[in-house]
Structure 1
């Protein structure tokens, strides 16, 4: 065990293979973690278990849940797993992350405007035409359309890891409707209720201002001439895995949570049904995918969306957040070109690293992937939540052969990357009654409106609770930690 630490850290293995966020390779505690480690070291397993139960009760009382879907079930509602040992980033580390995230989102926003208007980046052959225009998320309805403030990505979630070299890498961009921010706020509430004393030892950036900033961003994008916009959150309904978040955000912003059946369009204006009669809606934070947004334009069988809403959007009478068609920016094949996108539009070098990526649509990349699939992570370009992944070193021969056939049948759908060594963080394992290293990542949340930008100082640290697992998604058995940004 690391020298001088208590029973909860007994036999804690200091990693040579991965970057440990808390302990250096000699077993010493990193300076910014010293007070937290000292605090937990004084607790017995019994005392810590009692605190764990308090945290779990706090989550139950807050109603913090998520749904897991499988072939055998429509959705199992579960309390979100939470680990009491916080993840801490220094002010210097956070400064780089913040600048890098903002640079990335600003460049991707410029990219989206370009591909739906002048297509200069395609004409200059920085990115292949077919890669963009054949993307599942390229929305032809957006061609030539000017969104409010020329902003497409109003809410983005950038997933960041720390590799064994100690440097930060962007694992993927989430530009459609990134989820998880409600867990950031709930984690902080739970930490303050369970371990109030520990907050006196650190100067930590607050996260509680996110809902108000989200509302301010929405209001900044009101249609022309609307001084006091009526904003709503549009949810697919209670069976959606992120429904808790939809309800949480609407409640904390003080605005209505609506389903498609609560809205209607008349003469290119959107209205909400109320007991007092129709009420005009100006800004919609929609948590419904493009395909289901308007049955008159997209999927005619959709009962989740609002017939005619795209007509109101084209007319400039309602703002949709995020804009339709933003999915091209988080297509995992486009991800490989983000460093070039940053250089092209901003004339800057990327602040945050990309992970080396092989695009299976390219003949030479595909050949390499098929020959080395057992050493790579292969991902569908259009999936999220950790679904559809193949982690080569941990896959069976049968799984590898099946995946080879999938790639050969539809190469555009897949990319591959080397296995990245996600950093590890002490995480309490109840069965063992002690802390063990588990892999983590960080999802940051950035808001962009008309003359408005804001980054949540903390983000969601996700932790792979299964020993050795590199998949941190809650849908795949992951949990989360409170993320502390040290000020000054």
Structure 2
């Protein structure tokens, strides 16, 4: 453990050599991509930075940029924590990431078409049938349905970590209703307002082009026979933890934000209620879980869905983005087979590595997991937001026993992975009024359309604000940073 004193605001920065620090190299020198930024920030004291931090928080507060931590004793809206020291990824590194996440998204789309049609990958013994049929996200009602443009996962969020070996690994694929992209754009705006001058010294890609590309993708998968589609975002409502994002995206894209009660189905077509009368809706970007979409098809107690929506979808009269049933492919048990899935459908080797994963439905894997919980991260296959995760080396002996019992009751529901050493990044900690190392990951956003694909040149760098914590999700108290992708020189 050493202390770097070359910069006033880093005077108490403790660098642990066992961790991969993205700012400082193994010789405690500032990495090349950060040298200019480090120099620009050197004129600021900790108090100066604290003042700028308050300014950024005020920006978020005034815009209503909030989220909800359900694990809190009292659920309440909170300002999304944002750190003013950006993460920088050079062009060469980003090129690999971009190709890798696009490869995964395309392979997953082909996988989804296959499991809802011929099931060739199952018949050939590459992915077990029981893994598909036992998935809580597999929708039998999607069998044989061909979504417009042949796209299932129009929007994918791929979570990456940088390990201590300096390489990126995929932690998981999110293709049900991946969230967080609004914070990517808001982070950029907040940083520009607080520290506009720093942008003059770096040539970085914009992130504000996401909205126009998303609209183009949404319009490209319109139903047959539609010239100019009407596109809407459907939200569960204002009490949803991601409501800010739903409203932000609708406003930024320039489309209507609706709830289930604003839509109705007549003769297998979907209409929106307006003051001028009913208006046909052609594409629905949904932020509602599958089983709540249509009370006539799925959960009869759903008050946020649209009766008859799925019948209209099956007839090809409306496009739902992402398609219902995509959750079977981001089941963490399927993640285990991603290298095989990529090879099978694309005849390519994976560009990005998987983290070695044990699936507890396999007898040998289960035995290993139960005997080595203290060395593993245990994850439920169908949860999101960091919920239900157990990090073995943080558990007491009694807690380990409890996790063992839970796994033994439902082995299919759990996977386990080695405790990876997520890279760390300098993060301003308000309580200490100084910079400290904090673990980070990266969520990228990929769009698949009928005529084009798009990967946002940026992403959501999520920060575990609690010291030593490896869980970065905002729902677990994490924050975020602006992510800069450098242009090729």
TM value normalised by structure 2 = 0.98
RMSD (Å) for aligned C-alpha atoms = 1.0
Partners of 2:435 and 2:72 in 1: CA distance:
34
Partners of 2:292 and 2:371 in 1: CA distance:
39
In the alignment, which residue of structure 2 is the partner of 1:25?
26
Higher mean C-alpha displacement, 309-318 vs 448-457: 448-457
In the alignment, which residue of structure 2 is the partner of 1:446?
446
In the alignment, which residue of structure 2 is the partner of 1:388?
388
Partners of 2:3 and 2:402 in 1: CA distance:
44
CA contact (8 A) 1:8 1:435 kept: yes
In the alignment, which residue of structure 2 is the partner of 1:301?
301
Partners of 2:257 and 2:225 in 1: CA distance:
24
Alpha-carbon distance, 1:72 to partner: 4.2
Partners of 1:305 and 1:452 in 2: CA distance:
30
In the alignment, which residue of structure 1 is the partner of 2:285?
285
Partners of 1:410 and 1:112 in 2: CA distance:
25
In the alignment, which residue of structure 2 is the partner of 1:49?
50
Partners of 2:196 and 2:6 in 1: CA distance:
22
Alpha-carbon distance, 1:3 to partner: 5.3
Partners of 2:446 and 2:3 in 1: CA distance:
37
Partners of 2:72 and 2:31 in 1: CA distance:
44
Alpha-carbon distance, 1:4 to partner: 5.7
Partners of 1:324 and 1:396 in 2: CA distance:
40
Which 4+ stretches in 1 moved above 3 angstroms?
1-4, 70-73
CA contact (8 A) 1:360 1:369 kept: yes
Secondary structure in structure 2 of the residue aligned to 1:447:
strand
Aligned: 1:70 with 2:66: no
In the alignment, which residue of structure 2 is the partner of 1:398?
398
| Unaligned runs of at least 5 residues, structure 2 | none
Alpha-carbon distance, 1:70 to partner: 3.4
CA contact (8 A) 1:3 1:28 kept: no
Alpha-carbon distance, 1:398 to partner: 2.4
Aligned: 1:269 with 2:269: yes
CA contact (8 A) 2:158 2:170 kept: yes
In the alignment, which residue of structure 1 is the partner of 2:319?
319
Aligned: 1:230 with 2:230: yes
In the alignment, which residue of structure 1 is the partner of 2:364?
364
Within 5 Å, give how 1:56-95 maps onto structure 2: 56-70=57-71, 72-73=73-74, 75-95=75-95
Deviation string for 1:164-198 (max 9, x for gaps)?
A: 00000000000100000000000000011100000
Question: Quick one: structure 1 residues 107 and 67, their matched pair in 2 at CA, closer, same or farther if it must change by over 3 Å?
Answer: same
Alpha-carbon distance, 1:374 to partner: 1.3
Partners of 1:364 and 1:4 in 2: CA distance:
50
Alpha-carbon distance, 1:219 to partner: 0.4
Within 5 Å, give how 1:126-145 maps onto structure 2: 126-145=126-145
Alpha-carbon distance, 1:71 to partner: 7.3
TM value normalised by structure 1 = 0.98
CA contact (8 A) 1:2 1:28 kept: no
CA contact (8 A) 1:378 1:414 kept: yes
Alpha-carbon distance, 1:130 to partner: 0.4
Alpha-carbon distance, 1:38 to partner: 1.1
Partners of 1:283 and 1:245 in 2: CA distance:
18
Within 5 Å, give how 1:462-473 maps onto structure 2: 462-473=462-473
In the alignment, which residue of structure 2 is the partner of 1:108?
108
Alpha-carbon distance, 1:15 to partner: 2.5
CA contact (8 A) 2:69 2:477 kept: no
Secondary structure in structure 2 of the residue aligned to 1:330:
coil
CA contact (8 A) 2:5 2:11 kept: no
Partners of 2:68 and 2:425 in 1: CA distance:
25
Deviation string for 1:236-293 (max 9, x for gaps)?
A: 0011100000000000111110000111100000001111111100000000000111
Partners of 1:266 and 1:299 in 2: CA distance:
20
Secondary structure in structure 1 of the residue aligned to 2:184:
helix
In the alignment, which residue of structure 1 is the partner of 2:201?
201
CA contact (8 A) 1:2 1:27 kept: no
Secondary structure in structure 2 of the residue aligned to 1:284:
strand
Partners of 2:276 and 2:425 in 1: CA distance:
53
In the alignment, which residue of structure 2 is the partner of 1:212?
212
CA contact (8 A) 2:357 2:417 kept: yes
Partners of 1:432 and 1:303 in 2: CA distance:
46
CA contact (8 A) 1:271 1:278 kept: yes
In the alignment, which residue of structure 1 is the partner of 2:150?
150
Deviation string for 1:353-375 (max 9, x for gaps)?
A: 00000000011100100011111
Partners of 1:284 and 1:338 in 2: CA distance:
28
| Unaligned runs of at least 5 residues, structure 1 | none
CA contact (8 A) 2:4 2:13 kept: no
